[in-house]
Amino acid sequence: MLKTLHSYIFKLYSVVFSYPDELLSNWIAHGDLDKLFEISLSSGDQAVIRYHQWRRGNDHLLDSLQSEYTRLFINAVPHLLAPPYASFYREKTLFGSTTEMVLHLYERYNFQLSSNTVEMPDHIAIMLEFLYHLTEDSVPWKEIKSIVKEHYKWWVPQWVSRIRAHASLPFYEVSGSGLVNFLENEF
């Protein structure tokens, strides 16, 4: 049961941190992610309150999400505000030895990147999809915990700190905080 819940949470966060599409926009509009945030955060958290106000008062969710995603994670000027790549936090560069290490990890567990994947292998959404894959493939829980500690916990909090510092919408702030809390509390 616990492993199934973790699998579900990894999948949701993988979608949340992918480029926003209609699916994500609909989940937000219908309150489908509220349970995820309830699991990970306190309902009295000010960011959660701002998120609910934003969600209810926004008629252009998809446009807002895509603009914010692009600004935070793709191409802010003069520099990227919150790079969603593990290699940035270890090496201060992209596609370095950290990316290679992640690719070897994927190979070890037979995780194949989709042929239409446009992101680098160490992008947070891909790495969360990998954890979903592990939980679905019945990899022993002790092994999954070890992978999370070794490959996620050292950089995700740094990344989320950058999101908190630069987010103009509460969605990514709440999502990042929820992910960090989930990783800290469960692993």
CATH of the domain at 54: 1.10.3480.10
pLDDT at 43: 56
Range of the domain at 99: 2-186
Residues of the chain with pLDDT under 70: 1-3, 42-44, 76-78
What is the tally of structural domains in the chain?
1
Tell me which residue of 7, 13, 5 sits closest to 178, measured CA to CA.
13
pLDDT at 40: 72
Tell me the pLDDT tens digit for each residue of 81-108: 999 999 999 888 888 889 999 999 999 9
pLDDT at 180: 93
pLDDT at 77: 60
Long-range contacts of 31-40 (CB under 8 A, 24+ apart): 31/55, 36/9, 36/12, 36/178, 37/174, 37/175, 37/178, 39/9, 39/178, 39/182, 40/9, 40/177, 40/178, 40/179, 40/181, 40/182
